[in-house]
Amino acid sequence: MFTDTHLAPYAAQSATSRGRRFIEPASTSRSVFQRDRDRIIHSTAFRRLEYKTQVFVNHEGDLFRTRLTHSLEVAQIARSIARNLRLNEDLVEAISLAHDLGHTPFGHAGQDALNACMQDYGGFEHNLQSLRVVDQLEERYGAFDGLNLSFETREGILKHCSVTNAQLLGDVGQRFLEKKQPGLEAQLTNLADEIAYNNHDIDDGLRSGLLLESQLLELEFYSVHRASVDAAYPGITGRRAISETIRRMINALIVDLIQTSSKRIADHAPASIDDVRRMPKMIAFSEQMHGHATILKQFLHHHLYRHYLVNRMTSKARRIVSELFHAMFSEPILLPPDYQVLQAASEEERVLKQARKIADYIAGMTDRYAVREHRRLFAVNEI
């Protein structure tokens, strides 16, 4: 039996995990959450993240972040914070590595397009799809569908959820109905995700030339840390200066999060993870740092995510996803046999199931596979 004596009493403990959906013998060499992490790393969906868009489509450059490298960076940041707060590092790593498994090709543009296609059939949301991947879609074990992860990992994957969907998800959806919080590890990973994508999207934006450092210097948070770099290394320029600045920004966010969260935890004094679930959120930035993070997010939204060159690619992405869906929905025989729904209790049910199967198929595609499938279906010179 694994013991977590080094962890705080309010951290997720392996010995008191709520367990898996299907009972399995305990591992003699790994904790519950280590086992979850390993299953995620060996999954097909995790490997596909290497060729899924973060901001820039995979073929646009070898050095830009993908969903895979982003997930690894989230895991590194989350583990660092967890260690300082005496939370369960293995659990935050598992949640971090799984949180984007349900993302479509082409990032948020792909998700928006697929959600529009699915409006009459239950909609599409990558957060719910990540849970669907680990609960149902992965096919690796003879005894069950999915990866059969622990409740705590599944809880962390499901960051937000409507009441309607929560009612369909059983135990993991219950907290949305009861207005409760997830464990601290799940709260932490959510903000580690924000720290990672805000700062690394700045790095990729500058590397691509779509962002200019002169624009960033208008932001107090960036300019303060750039000034500290100049003071420490007079005359520093180029990539080295930018990397030093971003490194200091990440560190400032992490330190603030640790300090603010430590104070909130001390103020509320939870004695267990169940206490945490009944209390207000405790993992948070200070008010000032939250303001900096919000301004940074707004800056990226305006100057990078809506840049006309990014818009050109996202416009293509929406068109590819939409045309794939409608072609396959109109003619399911275009789908691989495993994704064709031939029988159901009623025609209405068959249509709903077929739409969801198509959504599963498209969401599982990498960027380049989606482009290739689109070409196969619509280019007259392709077979």
- What are the pLDDT digits (tens) for 336-382? 999 999 889 999 999 999 999 999 999 999 999 999 999 999 987 76
Looking at the predicted structure, is the pLDDT value of residue 75 above 90?
yes
Compute the distance between CA of residue 383 and CA of residue 379 in angstroms, rounded to an integer.
8
Q: Are residues 147 and 227 in the same domain?
A: yes
Q: Is residue 229 part of a domain?
A: yes
Q: Is residue 87 part of a domain?
A: yes
Q: Is residue 383 part of a domain?
A: no
Q: Are residues 165 and 275 in the same domain?
A: yes
Q: Are residues 304 and 354 in the same domain?
A: no
Q: Is residue 9 part of a domain?
A: no
Q: How much is the average pLDDT of 294-323?
A: 92
Residue 217's pLDDT band (cuts 50, 70, 90)? very high
Total domains present in the chain: 2
Q: Is residue 366 part of a domain?
A: yes
Q: Are residues 363 and 235 in the same domain?
A: no
For 232-282, give the DSSP string: HSTT--HHHHHHHHHHHHHHHHHHHHHHHHHHHHHHH--SSHHHHHHSPP-
pLDDT in tens, 15-67: 999 999 999 998 889 999 999 999 999 999 999 999 887 765 554 544 578 89
Q: What's the pLDDT score for residue 61?
A: 47
Which of 308, 324, 339 is a domain's end point?
A: 308
Compute the distance between CA of residue 24 and CA of residue 16 in angstroms, rounded to an integer.
15
Looking at the predicted structure, is the pLDDT value of residue 95 above 80?
yes
Looking at the predicted structure, is the pLDDT value of residue 90 above 80?
yes
Q: Is residue 5 part of a domain?
A: no
Q: What percent of the chain has pLDDT over 90?
A: 84
Which of 308, 329, 353 is a domain's end point?
A: 308
Q: Are residues 230 and 340 in the same domain?
A: no
Instruction: Tell me the residue range of the domain where 180 lies.
Output: 14-308
Q: How much is the average pLDDT of 305-328?
A: 93
Q: Is residue 2 part of a domain?
A: no
Q: What's the pLDDT score for residue 65?
A: 81
Which of 308, 337, 369 is a domain's end point?
A: 308
pLDDT in tens, 367-376: 999 999 999 9
Instruction: Decide: 134 and 157 in contact? Cβ < 8 Å.
Output: yes
Compute the distance between CA of residue 28 and CA of residue 102 in angstroms, rounded to an integer.
31
Q: Are residues 372 and 269 in the same domain?
A: no
Q: Is residue 7 part of a domain?
A: no
